[in-house]
């Protein structure tokens, strides 16, 4: 299959036995089915890619240009759209349905990208794993602070990127090199060993190592 990845939905975690009788933790992902909404051609666009749609959506909640895109493709409206680059292969026809069994097989290594859980405003100990201050020996109301953040006369400012308290989570993260434990094509399920970013019911992008997900 020319498509190197799929859009999916994280369902949760469980554990299964492998063929060798080893119990492994897995994340269950509803991978597809996805529909080809548009294609990119090297002669026209400068690169080859296929745009996939996943998840039902209401057309009335979309802008007129987006509604026109789905109307041109002859497909229903989708909640999520993602492009997947093609390495020289011919793109599937617009309107074609791509299923998990067409793309992945057990034993493969994949990358899974998604938006991590939002944790709001967090301190330096939770956000950056700071050790904090001693619990005794004169420490007073300064147990979970970050300490000094710079000098006064030089450099006279705080360097960009200084690890401090702030918003934690809710960012696009890719977990790499996860092994595919099982592919259940009849249920559109993909089981990968280990954890993937995001909360349950969150949207994820599963792609092979040669392809990078674009958030």
55-69 pLDDT per residue, tens: 888 888 888 988 888
| Residue 117, pLDDT score | 94
What integer pLDDT is reported at residue 89 of this predicted model?
A: 64
Query: Measured between alpha carbons, how far is 116 from 67 in angstroms, rounded to an integer?
Result: 29
The CATH number for 5-118+169-207, chosen from 3.40.50.10860, 2.40.30.10, 2.60.120.430, 3.40.1550.10, is 2.40.30.10
Q: Domain residue spans in the chain?
A: 5-118+169-207, 120-166
Could you tell me the end-to-end alpha-carbon distance of the chain, in angstroms, rounded to an integer?
Answer: 23
CA separation (Å) from 28 to 13, 20, 24, 181, 182?
A: 6, 20, 12, 10, 10
pTM, to two decimals:
0.82
On the question of pLDDT at 215 being above 60, the answer is no
pLDDT score at 211: 53
The Cα 71–Cα 66 span in angstroms is: 9
Residue 214 pLDDT > 60: no
**Contact, 82 vs 214, CB < 8 A?**
yes
pLDDT one-digit tens code per residue, 77-123: 888 999 998 886 677 888 888 899 889 999 999 999 999 999 999 99
Predicted confidence band at 10 (pLDDT cuts at 50, 70, 90)?
Answer: very high
Strand order through the sheet with 78-85: 78-85, 49-56, 34-40, 97-98
| 17-27 pLDDT per residue, tens | 988 889 999 99
**How are the residues of the chain apportioned to helix, strand and coil, as percentages rounded to the nearest 5?**
15, 40, 50
Q: Is the pLDDT of residue 1 over 70?
A: no
Q: Is the pLDDT of residue 6 over 90?
A: yes
Q: What is the pLDDT of residues 146-180, one digit of tens each?
A: 988 988 888 889 999 999 999 999 999 999 999 99
pLDDT in the model for residue 196: 94
């Amino acid at each position: 299959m020319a498509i190197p990845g799929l859009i999916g939905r994280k369902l949760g975690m469980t554990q299964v036995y492998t063929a060798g009788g080893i119990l492994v933790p897995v994340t269950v992902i509803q991978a597809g089915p996805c529909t080809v909404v548009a294609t990119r051609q090297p002669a026209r666009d400068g690169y080859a890619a296929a745009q996939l749609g996943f998840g039902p959506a209401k057309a009335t909640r979309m802008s007129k240009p987006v509604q026109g895109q789905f109307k041109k493709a002859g497909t229903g409206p989708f909640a999520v759209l993602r492009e997947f680059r093609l390495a020289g292969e011919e793109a599937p026809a617009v309107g074609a349905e791509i299923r998990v069994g067409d793309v992945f097989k057990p034993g493969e290594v994949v990358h899974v990208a998604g938006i991590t859980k939002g944790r709001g405003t967090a301190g330096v100990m939770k956000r950056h794993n700071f050790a904090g201050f001693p619990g005794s020996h004169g420490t007073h109301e300064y147990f979970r602070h970050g300490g000094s953040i710079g000098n006064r006369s030089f450099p006279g400012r705080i360097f960009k990127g200084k690890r401090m308290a702030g918003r934690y989570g809710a960012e696009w993260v890719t977990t790499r090199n996860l092994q595919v434990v099982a592919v259940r094509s009849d249920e559109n399920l993909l089981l990968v060993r280990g954890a993937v970013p995001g909360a349950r019911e969150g949207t994820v992008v599963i792609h092979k190592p040669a392809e990078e997900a674009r958030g």
